[in-house]
Structure 1
Amino acid sequence: METISEISAIDGLNRPCLDEGYGAAIVPSPGGDEAKKQKALKVLHVVNGEYYSGAERVQDNLALGLAQFGYGVVFACVKEGRFAETRRAKNVPLYRISMPELGWRKSIDRLIRVCAQENIALLHAHTPRTAVLCAGVHRRTGLPWVYHAHSPTLWDSKRYLKNIVVGLVDWWAARQADRIIAVSESLRRYWVRLGIPARRVVTVPNGVAAWESLTVRKPPEGSWVLGTMALFRPRKGVEILLEAIQVLSSRGYRLRVLAVGPFESEQYERHLKEMTHRLGLDEIVTWTGFVENTQEMLLAMDLFVLPSLFGEGMPMVLLEAMAAGLPVVASAVEGVPEIIRDGCEGLLVRPGSSSALASAIARFLDGAVDWESMRRAAYERQRDRFSLESMAAGVAAVYGELPLPARMPE
């Protein structure tokens, strides 16, 4: 089997555990008491809203974290779904703005009314769909706006024609934004390659709340619990994980798999469960569906696995796993090596290779890597570099570069 050390095509993964800086410096805006003495400027975060997955967790965390920097958040959802009910920032106003596939003018009109009603100073889009709306509002009102890029849309899935269409819409709208926030350095380079001036693209890594302390645990003995967590869809590579688990099980390894999260569609759910049955894994793999309390699920895992096939931007599930003190086996797709350093917080493998994935997991099961030191390194790296506070500070710094109204004393 091939491991990451045998894969020379993936550039720059086998390096010492050294931190690397990002392409654009982040200088936090004033926070704490100074921000509290000033009236908050309101930012309208325009989101899809149908799921509560990685990008939605970023939006929710920003609503919780930006207040300390003098910014109040208002949400506008363009799709019905889980976000409105599941978000933690329940005190944040939320408007439902329907957006049909065609005829967006009425949606733009509704957003403009929300902006007037809430005295919005800045727009913040999170998807290609919402970027189109924000560009329309900007053209009619002059309000500045920011586009938060969460993944490279041109190679977001196996549906290549759809990738091109969505990617072109994404590029057309984003080029009109005052700033593009890229969640990883690789994503910042993606936008610069598409012709966006480098000065307008800023890297702000994702962040999650750090756990108070690293949970005291003994190394697993006997059976291991492998975990994965996602909005399950073809780009997540779950089929590769199932194939790897079948290989490991056939070799006598004792393990269980906890697959946490909803499915993109009923059809895809049937596909994965039929594959699980066909491979003889019904007693090994547990599909939990959507779970609100993910901390409880993470505490039940010994090793986190993310077998993505395409660039991830900066996966929130990896940061949440690291916060829980879980070492990681993940595909070396764009964004992931900026979080997980191969051999430090986990192991990286070639995307799409079930043999490489099985080999990396087996190294943990065999005790060939130090589980305890990797889990500690994962916990410390998330706490030090990918916290909720650092993400909110970075976004606030981007806001601070834009021509916003002066804050008034309370």
Structure 2
Amino acid sequence: MCEKMVLGLNQKGHDVSVLASSYGSSRPSFLHAAHRKLHYLEEKYRNPFQRRFMQLQHAYLGCRNSVIARRLIEELSPDAVLLWNLEGVSSQVYFGISDLDIPLVWVLGSHWLAHDKAEFDEPVSFLKRYYRLGMLGFNALNEIRLEQSIFVSHSLAQSYKKVGFEIEGSVIIPNGVQESQIGARKEIEDDDIARGLQIVYVGRIEPEKGIDIAVEALHIILEEYHIPDVSLTLVGIGEPEYISALEQSASQKGLNDSVIFAGFLEHDQLMDKYAEYDVLILPTLQFEGFGLTLIEAMSQGLPVIASDIGGPKDIVEHGKNGYLVTPGDAGALAGQLLALWEERHKLPELGKAAIDTIREKFTAEQMINNYEDFIEAAVA
């Protein structure tokens, strides 16, 4: 999404420089010309000792990142600085440049900073609080100002307000799909109506995404409702241990032929492949800041079923372009899938409503224009 924003602003005549980490540098990207100088803070540990070592390493690298950012910003002397997803490079970057006479605009697409502040504000002993301060370079998260911020959803903005951040003056600018990529849902033929339900999940394969709930829901609709020809395709990569556990669970439930692990797909491949499915599900158990896979699937006329938590509530209009279900409730998800199958003649209507929603609210062109307006107002 950052790529779309940068390229869009460049096309509108703005000179945008990017300071990034080396994370993901192995894949082709517009970032090949970026300043790849920041250190990426990996979250990998297996025991408490490794966790402490990682925290100390993060504190050091966060301090280094703040120095790198300040030097480059002083060299470039930009009109404004966008702080886009500092989760992987440390909030210390903000503290390293906050005294510069340059407008700072946060772009917040996830719950990470609110989560860190909530954890930081927990009542703890003096020594533990002092240790936490040290991890932040002795800067308190309470000092971060978010009055001039961009949130990707109303739900996300409210989650930051709930933990005590001042967000008055911030705006909501949702992510978007390029208008040229918005497709048209193919008409459903009679033989399609007669068949079962082809379900797809797209995203990281990890416990927080609730994929085990989806597997259980699939088991319910096959065992209790006996719907023929139902499959669940999982597109994405993730934790090997969790993937192995899912494979074992599917095998124990007799779902070897019904749960398909498709692995990673390139974006263009994925957008074309949506036409093969009847519904996309997002059964997440954790707070989602937005739901990019939702709008991409909907842009291809695919109805969606998502957990009723966080950003998806800003996107999905229950019963119109998709459905919302209780997080962690396999029975509720199975029930909604059953209802969709029983009324699958309505799939074209749901698909058209999904496309209309994207055209009205979630295009990249709208996003870029809104970014430009907000940044220009911040500079004025």
Q: Is TM (by shorter chain) over 0.5?
A: yes
Q: Please state how far the C-alpha of 1:197 moved relative to its aligned partner.
A: 3.1
Please report how far the alpha carbon of residue 285 of structure 1 lies from its aligned counterpart in structure 2 after TM superposition.
1.4
Q: Structure 1 residue 309: deviation in Å?
A: 1.3
Q: 2:149 — aligned with what?
A: 180
Partner residue of 1:3? none
Aligned counterpart for 1:362 among listed residues 338, 356, 378? 338
For 1:85, the aligned partner's letter is R
> Which residue pairs with 1:77 in the alignment?
20
Partners of 1:118 and 1:173 in 2: how far apart?
29
What amino acid is the match of 1:308? T
Q: Report if the CA contact (8 A) 1:154-1:164 is conserved.
A: no
User: Which residue is 1:27 aligned to?
Assistant: none
Letter in 1 for 2:59: L
1:258 match: 233
Cα distance in 2 for residues equivalent to 1:354 and 1:155: 29
The amino acid of 1:148's aligned partner reads V
Q: 1:178 to 1:163 in 2, by over 3 A?
A: closer
Evaluate the alpha carbon distance shift between residue 239 and residue 73 of structure 1 in structure 2; reply closer, same or farther with a 3 A threshold. farther
2:260 corresponds, among 258, 275, 286, to 286
Question: Displacement, 1:344?
Answer: 0.1
Query: Kindly tell me: are residues 338 and 105 of structure 1, through their superposed partners in 2, closer, same or farther at Cα, counting changes over 3 Å?
Result: closer
Q: Which has the higher helix share?
A: 2
TM-score (norm 2): 0.80
Which amino acid counterpart does residue 91 of structure 2 have in structure 1? V
| Contact 2:145–2:165 (Cα < 8 Å) also in 1 | no
What is the letter of the counterpart of residue 136 of structure 1? F
Q: What SS is found at the alignment partner of 1:401? A: helix
The 2-side partners of 1:77 and 1:331 are apart by 32
Describe the shift of the 1:166–1:267 C-alpha distance in structure 2 as closer, same or farther (beyond 3 A). Answer: farther
Deviations along 1:2-49, whole A, 9 cap, x unmatched? xxxxxxxxxxxxxxxxxxxxxxxxxxxxxxxxxxxxxxxxxxxxxxxx
Which residue pairs with 1:164 in the alignment? 119
Q: Residue deviations 1:376-396, cap 9 Å, x none?
A: 000111111100011112222
Task: Number of aligned residue pairs: give it.
Answer: 340
Larger Rg: 2
Q: Give the aligned partner of residue 313 of structure 2.
A: 337
Contact 2:282/2:307 (<8 A) preserved:
yes
1:102 corresponds to 2:72: no
For residue 207 of structure 2, what is the aligned residue in structure 1?
234
User: How far, CA to CA, are the matches of 1:273 and 1:77 in structure 2?
Assistant: 36
Displacement of 1:133 in angstroms is: 3.7
SS at match of 2:378: coil
- Contact 1:303/1:326, CA 8 A, preserved across alignment: yes
Q: Distance in 2 between matches of 1:343 and 1:243?
A: 23
State the identity as a percent.
21
Aligned partners of 1:162, 1:358: CA distance in 2, in Å?
36
Match of 1:216 among 172, 186, 191: 186
Tell me which residue corresponds to 1:407: none
Amino acid at match of 2:27: E
Match of 2:348 in 1: 372
- 117-126 or 329-338, which moves further after superposition? 117-126
In structure 1, distance between residues paired with 2:368 and 2:248:
42
Unaligned runs of 5+ in 1: 1-57, 405-410
The residue that corresponds to 1:67 in the other structure is 10
Cα distance in structure 2, aligned partners of 1:257 and 1:155? 33
- Kindly indicate whether the alpha-carbon contact (under 8 Å) linking 2:17 and 2:34 is maintained by their aligned counterparts in 1: yes
Distance 2:175 2:336 in 1: 26
**Displacement of 1:286:** 1.4
Q: 1:313 to 1:179 in 2, by over 3 A?
A: same
Deviation at 1:303, TM superposition (A): 0.9
Structure-2 separation of matches of 1:171 and 1:243 = 43
Cα distance in structure 2, aligned partners of 1:286 and 1:67: 41
Structure 1 counterpart SS, 2:262: strand
Secondary structure of 1:270 counterpart: helix
What is the distance in 2 between the residues matched to 1:233 and 1:372? 31
1:301-312 map, 5 Å: 301-312=277-288
How much has 1:341 moved relative to structure 2?
0.5
Matched, 1:385 2:326: no
CA contact (8 A) 1:66 1:392 kept: yes
Higher relative CO (Cα under 8 Å, sequence separation at least 6) belongs to 1
Residue number in structure 1 paired with 2:246 = 272
Q: 1:152 corresponds to which letter in structure 2? A: H
Q: CA RMSD in A?
A: 2.9
Residue 366 of structure 1: how far off its partner (Å): 1.5
**Deviation above 4 Å: which 4+ runs of structure 1?**
116-119, 165-171
Q: Any idea what SS the aligned residue of 1:309 has?
A: coil
Residues 1:213 and 1:239: Cα distance change in structure 2 (over 3 Å) = closer
SS across alignment from 1:325: coil
| Stretch deviating more after TM superposition (328-337 or 361-370) | 361-370
Contact map agreement 2:149 2:167 (CA 8 A) in 1: no
Unaligned runs of 5+ in 2: 41-56, 123-131
Q: Do structure 1's residue 111 and structure 2's residue 65 form an aligned pair?
A: no
CA–CA distance in 2 between the matches of 1:330 and 1:165? 30
Contact kept? 2:281, 2:306, Cα under 8 Å: yes
TM-score w.r.t. structure 1 length? 0.74
Q: Deviations over 1:76-128 (max 9, x none)?
A: 333x44366254x3565241411541213222222233334555432323133
SS in 1 for 2:199: strand
